[in-house]
Structure 1
């Protein structure tokens, strides 16, 4: 189970108190590189997520980040025995992304819970069970609406309007991107982009070493889903960056087949910006978890 941090713990660890009070009072500094944690931001009814923000608070451009297993707030990582990977905490990753996207607001979405203290479960975005996350891609699960309303709440809090969105998924976090694609045909048929005023501003998707230990597909191979998402949003660029940590992992006979199918779909729709492999000379038995995390530093924007 996820141990939810109290305001006092958050304020005492990483949240600059003056910035938090400024945000709550509606008085926002023009720019800051500090990391701010906003607990329990509401999205769809009965769904909320903690958000970690960094970068330009007044920017009309935002990068939304969904991380992988292990990644969490630093106090939670320490308590779960993951201190060796604190360099990749959500706070540090938000700071890193703000250096890669200096003109953007960075918004890292904390998973709703952790299984066995380590495994990220984005229950508000993708169907999950107590043991498996994700358990399926349900096209009517409502991840798109939740993300749209979550970002709308953040806009209201910051008194800002996002004109351009990039969504970055790393490792298991890429299942959220998959879920959004699977939902697109249903949303397009029902409401169109009018029902998603914020999410319709998505221009770029970044798949960074996508992978998970579930039984669902690794990549979206339904061309209608990808096409619908292109029509639903402002998408013009899909970036794919992998390492052998995912592509050569044993027991995944369909991973590279699905990856190439997804890339071909994006290429045919003229939205594939790049597909690269880092550490490609390393066999799987030599690639490390640290190599996997290094993608966050090395991927081109």
Structure 2
């Protein structure tokens, strides 16, 4: 303020310094003096500051209050961009899901390296091939149908019992399973009994096992297993239910009978898809009846029905657990055919049950076990150290112990067979139980 006063005062006796004049000139360029009033002791004045920059004007369309002429085009481009963004997000989620499945399979393969005779490197070299083979191709199905038409094994050998493949046998609406029948003779209903078998991991058609990295266990393919069971149960008919899905030609998924997680872990009990409470049991009964029809001359059910035995091996035992749950958890059964099936069920065999989850390899629910005893079922539990002494899955041994002890406490008809306990647990003896139980 002193600078301005020194510049404007009329009776200013103080000389203006050069630097003050220069500063004043700089200031004067950015202000306009509108009114100056002389007062004693100085001057009063009004200042208006002016910007040296030209202000930016709003867009013409806003000044003119006009709408965007290409609004529809802009809207369309925005929607397209959003759709592409969502598509990329979905693709990323799908890739993450697939990667998760591969990681889970990798871990499981490492745990079961001796089981499938794979090294980690071999596994990843075979992933692409295995993924391509995880579901039957049209060509495969045509080959299967040709084999089924021939009604005999694709490579019969002297002394072998003939088997017949029934492809895509219908069960519950929208659900199908392949069924292998042995011997491949006409069903009359006069047989000693009908045996229904659910296999474990690795077990599939012989040509699939021969062309995969599970060749070491080719002897236990589903067709040869049918022959093994036919010798174990003479004068009977063997029905082997093939799982509707296999991951990497190795992991069996019985999704038509019970729920499985994306990681291949089974869930025993009620689930949202099981609206009637007995969908797994109903699918089994219809599958079995339709398989019998295909094994008769006039495509009809026989007039007589022999007793039924259910057998599960390894992961296949989870189907038995679900069937027992549905039979004996209190759900009312309305279907006449299902009731007849339950009445004819006489025996149930658990052979070295186990899977990759953390529960329900063996039934331990008191209500279900008590109902099994009340029905008078002949119950068999055959085990090897491979499952019940697995240090990484100790829960399996604990459940099997409860299963046997509770049934004995209930005075049930329970027979426990313990095999190869003088040897370390091995996958070879795990499979060998199919021959010795």
Normalising by the smaller structure, the TM-score range is: 0.7 to 0.9
1:68 pairs with 2:200: yes
1:53-103 CA-partner distances (Å, limit 9, x unpaired): 103643442110100100001122123321111100000000110011111
> Is 1:57–1:158's contact at 8 Å kept on the other side of the alignment?
yes
The 1-side partners of 2:167 and 2:236 are apart by: 21
1:50 pairs with 2:178: yes
Counterpart among 118, 139, 145 of residue 250 in structure 2: 118
Q: Is the partner of 2:201 in helix, strand or coil? A: coil
Distance 1:141 1:198, change over 3 A: closer
Larger displacement relative to structure 2 (255-264 or 99-108): 255-264
Determine the structure 1 residue equivalent to 2:371.
228
Q: Spell out the pairing of 1:130-279 with structure 2 (5 A cutoff).
A: 130-138=262-270, 140=277, 142-159=279-296, 160=302, 161-186=304-329, 188-191=330-333, 194=336, 195-229=338-372, 235-279=376-420
Q: Is the partner of 2:252 in helix, strand or coil? A: strand
- Deviation beyond 6 Å, 4+ runs, structure 1: none
Deviation at 1:202, TM superposition (A): 1.0
1:17 pairs with 2:154: no
Which runs of 5 or more residues in structure 1 are unaligned? Answer: 21-31
Determine the structure 2 residue equivalent to 1:86.
218
1:111-134 CA-partner distances (Å, limit 9, x unpaired): 010112200000111101232231
Determine the structure 1 residue equivalent to 2:92.
none
Which fold has the larger relative contact order, with Cα–Cα distance below 8 Å and residues 6 or more apart in sequence? 1
Determine the structure 1 residue equivalent to 2:436.
298
Task: Give the structure with the larger helix fraction.
Answer: 2
> Is 1:74–1:86's contact at 8 Å kept on the other side of the alignment?
yes
Cα RMSD (Å) of the superposition? 2.5
Distance 1:235 1:69, change over 3 A: farther
1:226-251 CA-partner distances (Å, limit 9, x unpaired): 233455xx653101110000111012
The 1-side partners of 2:343 and 2:287 are apart by: 14
> Is 2:278–2:333's contact at 8 Å kept on the other side of the alignment?
no
If the length of structure 1 is used for normalisation, what is the TM-score?
0.84
Distance 1:16 1:294, change over 3 A: farther
Kindly name which structure, 1 or 2, has the bigger radius of gyration based on alpha carbons.
2
1:24-47 CA-partner distances (Å, limit 9, x unpaired): xxxxxxxx9311000111111111
Deviation at 1:262, TM superposition (A): 1.2
If the length of structure 2 is used for normalisation, what is the TM-score?
0.59
Distance 1:192 1:274, change over 3 A: farther
The 2-side partners of 1:230 and 1:158 are apart by: 33
The 2-side partners of 1:241 and 1:124 are apart by: 26
> Is 2:278–2:331's contact at 8 Å kept on the other side of the alignment?
no
Which runs of 5 or more residues in structure 2 are unaligned? Answer: 1-130, 154-159, 272-276, 297-301
The 2-side partners of 1:4 and 1:75 are apart by: 12
